[in-house]
Amino acid sequence: MVATAFGGPEVLQLIDVPPVEPGPGNVIVDVRAAGINPIDWKTYADGPGTDRSRLPLRLGFEVAGVVSAVGPSVRWLSEGDEVIAWRVHGGYADRLEVSEQVTVRRPAELGWAPASGLMLTGATAVHTLTAANVHRGDVVLVHGGSGGVGRMVVQLAELRGAAVIATASPHAHDDLRALGAIPVEYGPGLAERVRAVAPSPVTVAIDTVGTDEALDTSVELVADRSRVISIAGFGRGPSLGIQLLGGGPGADPGTAVREAARAQLVDLAADGVLDVRVARTYPLDQVADAHREGRGGHPGGKLVLLP
């Protein structure tokens, strides 16, 4: 699946490409599931500075599947091994060449769909908590707690012993309570609602949505702005003096932290400690419909392709 132009989901097209043999250190993975993330549709969104010479664009950064071919110098994978691969290029496919360096073995306890949706959101969440130095006794405010990254932040912050308050629409509040968070509805008066339910002053804010409300509430409630983290507020973040993480301008990509998180995330998910909620699955030829749902917001969990 490729984007043949910049724009909306209507530019997506399924194409055939010639099969390849894996190069040195690489393997071919028969993809069983491919995770969908907001960065996927942002990759082909039209806007200033779009470089049309890059077209067509292959999409998809995380997959789970079975190794079907092994290239020279591969050290620890064999044909038939079941793996999770992230970060990859072009994961929206039925077969994909990847470096063995980006793979971990898929535990049998973790289904194909949740396995494909674990790494990007999970590693991002680990990065936010590490950057904010979240520990036992902290009170963490998570903006967008029902989203893919937000839900991971809630669970991992709980595991670190922090108290967690998470913003979400009312329909997601029961799920957040089940994860151990105190849910609050976003909207006017958010700061007051957070103060009313917080067991003690908020010490950390993690923004996964990038709205003015999220940013303004965070800096109002958290005294130490180095413990205000945003993965989306790149426009106002620098002027507020907060930490920006991810792929935006001036942000810390946290590559080493995120890559080191792979093994921990797999172990926690395999043990049932970390829940990857899959909202819906789509066949590969319905990617455009999946992206329309994702762009609409609030899918209630991960969207996954099953090639």
Three-class DSSP category at 173 = helix
Q: Which residues of the chain have pLDDT under 50?
A: none
For 8, the token pair is 């909306």
Q: Which domains does the chain have, with CATH numbers?
A: 2-118+276-306 (3.90.180.10), 123-254 (3.40.50.720)
Q: Is the peptide bond before 170 cis (omega within 30 degrees of 0)?
A: no
- Compute the distance between CA of residue 250 and CA of residue 51 in angstroms, rounded to an integer: 21
- Compute the distance between CA of residue 190 and CA of residue 196 in angstroms, rounded to an integer: 10
**How far, rounded to the nearest angstrom, does the alpha carbon of residue 110 sit from its chain's CA centroid?**
17
The pLDDT score that the predictor gives to residue 150 is 96
- Compute the distance between CA of residue 147 and CA of residue 299 in angstroms, rounded to an integer: 8
The pLDDT score that the predictor gives to residue 78 is 98
The pLDDT score that the predictor gives to residue 166 is 98
The verdict on pTM exceeding 0.85 is yes
The pLDDT score that the predictor gives to residue 50 is 83
Residue type, position 226, single letter: S
- Compute the distance between CA of residue 155 and CA of residue 176 in angstroms, rounded to an integer: 9
Residues comprising the chain, all counted: 307
Q: What is the DSSP string of 277-296?
A: -EEEEEEGGGHHHHHHHHHH
Residue type, position 95, single letter: R
The pLDDT score that the predictor gives to residue 49 is 72
- Backbone dihedral region for residue 60 (phi beyond 0: left; psi -120 to 50: alpha; all else: beta): left
Contact predicate 116/63, CB 8 Å: yes
User: For 28-37, what is each residue's pLDDT tens digit?
Assistant: 999 999 999 9
